[in-house]
């Protein structure tokens, strides 16, 4: 993971792209890539979407879009000085308190 952060940073610095990589721009790019990921799944039935990785061409497209999303998320976190995995683990702890197992079992109700 820290290796990915370093490589994405080097990729940007070699191309002098730090000037474009502001938090707002990167957040927009992240949303743009998530949009492309949604586009891969939007017209599939739930059953087709569940089996999307069995079709090699669709799987390659989905994997590429997931990769793009991860690249921009990694870069945004790096620019903001946030450790991505730590932020997720901390948030997971908070969500665990908000959604106790016995009260949340099988329910998607928001709290």
Contacts (CB under 8 A) with a copy of itself, residues 21-80: 22-25, 27-39, 41-46, 49-50, 52-53, 62-64, 66-71, 73-74, 76-77, 80
- Which of 9, 55, 82, 111: binder of a copy of itself (CB under 8 A)? 82
d(CA 72, CA 36): 13
- Which of 9, 56, 57, 84: binder of a copy of itself (CB under 8 A)? 84
Cβ distance to a copy of itself smaller for residue 56 or 104: 104
Cβ distance to a copy of itself smaller for residue 56 or 81: 81
Count of residues that interact with a copy of itself, criterion CB under 8 A: 72
Q: Which contacts qualify for 63-67: CB closer than 8 Å, 24 or more apart?
A: 65/33, 65/36, 65/37, 65/40, 66/37
Distance of CA 66 to the CA centre of its chain: 7
Q: How many CA atoms lie within 13 A of 111 on its CB side?
A: 12
| Residue 98 in the binding site for a copy of itself (CB under 8 A) | no
């Amino acid at each position: 993971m820290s290796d990915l952060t370093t490589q994405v940073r080097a990729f940007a610095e070699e191309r002098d792209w730090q000037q474009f990589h502001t938090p707002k721009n990167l957040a927009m790019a992240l949303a743009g890539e998530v949009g492309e990921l949604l586009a891969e799944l939007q017209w599939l039935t739930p059953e087709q979407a569940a089996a999307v990785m069995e079709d090699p061409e669709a799987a390659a497209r989905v994997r590429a879009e997931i990769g793009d999303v991860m690249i921009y998320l990694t870069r945004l976190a790096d620019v903001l000085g946030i450790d991505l995995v730590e932020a997720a683990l901390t948030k997971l702890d908070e969500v665990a308190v908000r959604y106790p197992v016995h009260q949340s079992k099988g329910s998607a109700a928001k709290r």
